[in-house]
Amino acid sequence: NGEIINGSNQENIAYPSGLCAERVALYYAGAKYPDVSVKTIAISAKSKTYDIIDVVSPCGACRQVMAEYQQKQKQNIRVLLHSPNDEVLIANSVDDLLPFMFNSEQLRKF
């Protein structure tokens, strides 16, 4: 619907209780706009304590959550990854980041 949803890392001393920004944004969007598809997710980072020296890429848990949202909405989610030299890498689908996602079909086998 054109809404921009922001997410930020939510750290917690009791690891792994924190949440990454990607999951915070997706869970918020899913709660607030349950019938609206996510078209694009842009991932970037900044730090006051160290230099970002590589492309900002989602962790495995975030990739799985993004893949499940994509599967649920039956529409690809484009992923924009920010690099330190201000270039943007574009994945046209979460499948490009997680080609062998864990899915509900695998649970039915057990």
User: Of 22, 68, 87, 105, which residue is the catalytic one?
Assistant: 22
Q: Which SS3 state, helix, strand or coil, does residue 90 take?
A: strand
Active site residue 22: yes
Residue type, 38: V
Q: In what order do the strands lie in the sheet with 78-82?
A: 40-43, 78-82, 88-91
Left if phi > 0, otherwise alpha if psi is -120 to 50, otherwise beta: which for 2?
A: left
Catalytic residues: 22
